[in-house]
């Protein structure tokens, strides 16, 4: 960015001290501060002001930490200046991975607002529902996504960003920031004036971030993230400052992010607040690298030429990446947090060959993103890639700041009178994953019925079915509704997929339950082939896939049907839509 000069709203003040701490409420005892991730940005700006905080090469702009701390303070004051705004109000953000949504992670919670990120892959109708349900009073919207905005009604303040960083003089978001900057200057001047007349200083005027207060209650809400929900209405997951602070520290720690790290924004920030990584990377004094689209050419350029060291993404993202023509082995290690499902042996081998090193994590929007990690065990070094992928596929153990994860009998949530009953740790008995503690959401916003269904006996119920191994680590079998029940046996569709995907010709696959006259249900496999294997088909090839499965699972678990397809239907967050595939057979029952 040789020629880029940030607008005044993003330039650290001169002449007046730029304080980089929030004010503490006088009632807070000296040995306590409210845990809030907002503190991470201020600390980074103080320690390493001239380091690149966020780089947005696509649009030729970015900010150092002191510039970013200034910009976010301007945003905070801009929000405060919107008539009627008060702490606890929801501020929606409709944005791809650009500085706009990154700014929002600081500017909104800094004034007690609740950041409400919108999934930009949703339909206008879905977005309208979320905006309505959340009662958002301010919307920050990227210029390419204005079609998602509801009709103006005069009640909601809408600010559109051209993602110009002020290079475009008609960028509404930049005007909004500038108004915020002016409000900040006025507030600061009033403070300075108040102190000017005194002959003997008995206190100091507040400047910069000192003009804002740390949350008095660290359990005040910080974010409202809506789940994509394959069935039914999306639910709003409410999380708090304390949980975000602790989750962000865990993510920085578990991913080993340091001041030398550069984090590539492949994972959408609108997805569970980017799993708290906007806060985590900053806590570690690292650099954010934003890209508006998941474009494999752009990603490979970032990995190869911009020194990216970390990114997060689902296996579907990795598959596209490792099979891209630009995929060549990197000369530095990249740490990749993979969630949603584990990398298959094929994918794992390919990733490692490219110097992309996956860490398998598991989580939900309700848990601030990942809260378990599959910790490496030294013995894995001796295993072949197939066996290693199978070990890595387990969801593992709780994060540093998470409580221990339990797997409980599915009937105990409703029938037992006292507590939940754990399944045996034998890798066999199936139960539901439950969790509690600092990395668990407050509840579903304005939905006590959904909350009480999900939080029972003091534990949040994930809806994921799993076993627990003797080592205490959990392994997901399936979402409850995805399990295949065949001749009285429970078949984990995930297990079948994991094993089928180990076949060299298989790029990805999905197995669903299909009605079967004799067995009740039987598996139906949809298979996408690798680039090199495209064209393979016929009875013989299907038999080869069947034989591959037979060698790896009980006979009843081997899919009855195999179908080669071009691609799998996916949700806006990249999850395979099993419900769409199931619908194909629903009428044939």
Site for a copy of itself in 151-210 (CB under 8 A): 201-204
In angstroms, give the least distance from the CB of 30 to a copy of itself: 5
State whether the Cα torsion 145-148-154-157 is positive or negative: negative
Question: Does the footprint of a copy of itself cover residue 463 (CB under 8 A)?
Answer: no
Specify the pairing of strand 506-516 against strand 520-529: antiparallel
Question: Does the footprint of a copy of itself cover residue 561 (CB under 8 A)?
Answer: no
Pick between residue 376 and residue 556 the one whose CB is nearest to a copy of itself: 376
Q: Which of 456, 382, 395 is nearest to 427 (CA)?
A: 395
Q: Which of 238, 228, 206, 244 is nearest to 35 (CA)?
A: 244
User: What is the total count of residues that contact a copy of itself (CB under 8 A)?
Assistant: 68
Residues 37 and 273: their CA atoms lie apart, in Å, by: 12
- Torsion region of 564: left, alpha or beta (phi above 0 gives left; psi -120 to 50 gives alpha): beta
Question: Does the footprint of a copy of itself cover residue 41 (CB under 8 A)?
Answer: no
Question: Does the footprint of a copy of itself cover residue 397 (CB under 8 A)?
Answer: yes
Pick between residue 43 and residue 546 the one whose CB is nearest to a copy of itself: 43
Q: Residue written as tokens 């030729």?
A: 60
Q: Which of 375, 490, 515, 586 binds a copy of itself (CB under 8 A)?
A: 375
**H-state helical runs in 110-171:** 124-134
Residues 159 and 138: their CA atoms lie apart, in Å, by: 8
Phi, psi of 28 (to 5 degrees): -75, 125
Q: Which residues pair with 413 in a beta bridge?
A: none
Q: Is 208 exposed, middle or buried (0-12, 13-18, 19+ CB in 10 A)?
A: buried
Question: Does the footprint of a copy of itself cover residue 353 (CB under 8 A)?
Answer: no
Pick between residue 183 and residue 398 the one whose CB is nearest to a copy of itself: 398
Binding segment for a copy of itself (CB under 8 A), chosen from 287-295, 432-440, 516-524, 542-550, is 432-440
Q: Which residues pair with 516 in a beta bridge?
A: 520
Question: Does the footprint of a copy of itself cover residue 426 (CB under 8 A)?
Answer: no
Site for a copy of itself in 496-515 (CB under 8 A): none
Phi, psi of 268 (to 5 degrees): -65, 135
Site for a copy of itself in 472-491 (CB under 8 A): 472-473
Question: Does the footprint of a copy of itself cover residue 416 (CB under 8 A)?
Answer: yes
Cβ atoms of 374 and 441 closer than 8 Å? no
Record the tokens describing residue 145, joined without a space: 């996504």
Binding segment for a copy of itself (CB under 8 A), chosen from 16-24, 175-183, 346-354, 521-529, is 16-24
Residues 589 and 579: their CA atoms lie apart, in Å, by: 15
In angstroms, give the least distance from the CB of 248 to a copy of itself: 10
Q: How far apart are the first and last CA of the chain?
A: 61
Q: Which of 76, 442, 496, 581 binds a copy of itself (CB under 8 A)?
A: 442
Question: Does the footprint of a copy of itself cover residue 320 (CB under 8 A)?
Answer: no
Question: Does the footprint of a copy of itself cover residue 65 (CB under 8 A)?
Answer: no
Pick between residue 28 and residue 554 the one whose CB is nearest to a copy of itself: 28
Question: Does the footprint of a copy of itself cover residue 376 (CB under 8 A)?
Answer: yes
In angstroms, give the least distance from the CB of 15 to a copy of itself: 13
Q: What is the dihedral of CA 468, 469, 475, 477, to 10 degrees?
A: -70
Question: Does the footprint of a copy of itself cover residue 217 (CB under 8 A)?
Answer: no
In angstroms, give the least distance from the CB of 17 to a copy of itself: 8
Instruction: Tell me the residue ranges of DSSP E strands in 89-175.
Output: 90-94, 114-118, 138-142, 157-161
Question: Does the footprint of a copy of itself cover residue 417 (CB under 8 A)?
Answer: yes
Residues 296 and 33: their CA atoms lie apart, in Å, by: 43
Q: Which of 375, 92, 69, 359 is nearest to 225 (CA)?
A: 92
Q: Residue written as tokens 């602070």?
A: 245
Q: Which of 5, 17, 332, 554 binds a copy of itself (CB under 8 A)?
A: 17
SS3 content of the chain, % helix, strand, coil (to 5): 35, 25, 40
Q: Which of 492, 497, 451, 487 is nearest to 475 (CA)?
A: 492
Question: Does the footprint of a copy of itself cover residue 398 (CB under 8 A)?
Answer: yes
Q: What is the DSSP letter of 8?
A: G
Question: Does the footprint of a copy of itself cover residue 15 (CB under 8 A)?
Answer: no
In angstroms, give the least distance from the CB of 398 to a copy of itself: 7
Record the tokens describing residue 564, joined without a space: 């080669």
Pick between residue 65 and residue 77 the one whose CB is nearest to a copy of itself: 65
Record the tokens describing residue 544, joined without a space: 């080869």
In angstroms, give the least distance from the CB of 129 to a copy of itself: 25
Q: Which of 503, 511, 258 is nearest to 386 (CA)?
A: 503
Q: Which of 58, 168, 172, 219 binds a copy of itself (CB under 8 A)?
A: 219
Q: Which residues pair with 157 in a beta bridge?
A: 138
In angstroms, give the least distance from the CB of 220 to a copy of itself: 12
Question: Does the footprint of a copy of itself cover residue 382 (CB under 8 A)?
Answer: no
Pick between residue 219 and residue 544 the one whose CB is nearest to a copy of itself: 219
Residues 273-292, one symbol each (x = binds a copy of itself by CB under 8 A, - = not), give: ----------xxx-------
Question: Does the footprint of a copy of itself cover residue 88 (CB under 8 A)?
Answer: no
Site for a copy of itself in 231-250 (CB under 8 A): 240, 242-243, 249
Binding segment for a copy of itself (CB under 8 A), chosen from 34-42, 68-76, 301-309, 506-514, is 34-42
Question: Does the footprint of a copy of itself cover residue 21 (CB under 8 A)?
Answer: yes
How far, in Å, are 179, 465, 569, 574, 579 from residue 461 at the CA level?
A: 44, 10, 27, 23, 21
Binding segment for a copy of itself (CB under 8 A), chosen from 80-88, 173-181, 393-401, 523-531, is 393-401
Q: Which of 460, 476, 477, 562 binds a copy of itself (CB under 8 A)?
A: 460
Q: Which residues pair with 93 in a beta bridge?
A: 117, 140
Q: Which residues bind a copy of itself (CB under 8 A)?
A: 17, 20-21, 24, 26, 28-33, 35, 39-40, 42-43, 46-49, 201-204, 219, 240, 242-243, 249, 252-253, 256, 258-259, 283-285, 375-377, 397-398, 400-401, 403-404, 412, 416-419, 421-422, 425, 436-438, 440-443, 455, 458-460, 471-473
């Amino acid at each position: 960015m040789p020629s880029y000069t940030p607008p005044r709203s993003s330039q650290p003040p001169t002449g007046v001290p730029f304080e980089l701490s929030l004010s503490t409420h006088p009632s807070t005892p000296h040995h306590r501060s409210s845990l809030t991730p907002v503190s991470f940005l201020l600390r980074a700006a103080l320690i390493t002001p001239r380091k690149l905080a966020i780089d947005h090469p696509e649009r030729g702009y970015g900010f150092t930490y002191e510039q970013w701390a200034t910009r976010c303070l301007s945003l905070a004051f801009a929000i405060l200046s919107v008539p009627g705004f008060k702490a606890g109000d929801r501020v929606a953000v409709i944005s791809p991975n650009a500085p706009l949504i990154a700014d929002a992670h600081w500017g909104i919670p800094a004034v007690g607002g609740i950041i409400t990120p919108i999934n930009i892959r949703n339909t206008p109708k879905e977005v309208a529902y979320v905006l309505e349900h959340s009662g958002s009073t301010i919307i920050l919207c990227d210029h390419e996504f204005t079609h998602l905005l509801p009709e103006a009604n005069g009640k909601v303040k809408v600010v559109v960003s051209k993602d110009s960083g002020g290079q475009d003089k008609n960028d509404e978001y930049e005007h909004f920031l500038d108004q915020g900057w002016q409000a900040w200057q006025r507030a600061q001047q009033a403070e300075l004036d108040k102190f000017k007349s005194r002959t003997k200083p008995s206190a100091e005027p507040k400047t910069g971030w000192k003009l804002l207060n740390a949350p008095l209650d660290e359990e005040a809400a910080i974010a409202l993230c809506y789940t994509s929900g394959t069935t039914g209405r999306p639910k709003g997951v409410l999380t708090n400052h304390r949980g975000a602070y602790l989750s962000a520290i865990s993510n920085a720690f578990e991913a080993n992010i340091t001041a030398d790290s550069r984090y590539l924004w492949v994972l959408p920030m609108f997805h569970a607040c980017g799993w708290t990584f906007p806060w985590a990377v900053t806590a570690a004094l690292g650099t954010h690298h934003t890209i508006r689209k998941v474009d494999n050419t752009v990603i490979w350029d970032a990995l190869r030429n911009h020194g990216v060291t970390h990114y997060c993404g689902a296996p579907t993202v990795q598959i596209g990446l490792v099979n891209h023509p630009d995929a060549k082995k990197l000369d530095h290690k990249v740490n990749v947090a993979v969630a949603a499902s584990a990398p298959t042996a094929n994918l794992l081998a390919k990733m490692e060959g490219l110097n992309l090193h996956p860490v398998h994590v598991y989580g939900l929007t309700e848990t601030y993103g990942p809260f378990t990690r599959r910790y490496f065990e030294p013995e894995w070094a001796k295993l072949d890639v197939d066996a290693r992928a199978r070990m890595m596929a387990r969801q593992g153990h709780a994060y540093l700041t998470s409580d221990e994860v339990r797997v409980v009998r599915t009937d105990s949530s409703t029938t037992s009178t006292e507590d939940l009953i754990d399944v045996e740790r034998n890798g066999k008995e199936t139960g539901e994953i439950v969790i509690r503690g600092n990395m668990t959401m407050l509840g579903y916003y304005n939905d006590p019925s959904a909350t009480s269904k999900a939080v029972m006996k003091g534990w949040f119920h994930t809806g994921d079915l799993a076993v627990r191994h003797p080592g205490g680590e959990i392994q997901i079998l399936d979402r409850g509704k995805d399990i295949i029940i065949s001749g009285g046996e429970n078949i984990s569709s995930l297990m079948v997929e994991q094993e089928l995907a180990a076949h060299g010709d298989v790029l990805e696959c999905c197995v669903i339950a299909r009605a079967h006259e004799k067995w009740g249900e039987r598996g139906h496999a949809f298979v996408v082939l690798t680039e090199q294997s495209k064209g393979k088909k016929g009875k013989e090839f299907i038999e080869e896939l069947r034989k591959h499965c037979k060698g790896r699972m009980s006979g009843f678990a081997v899919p009855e049907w195999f179908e080669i397809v071009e691609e799998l239907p996916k949700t806006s967050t990249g999850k395979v839509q099993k419900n769409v595939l199931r619908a194909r057979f629903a009428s044939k029952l």
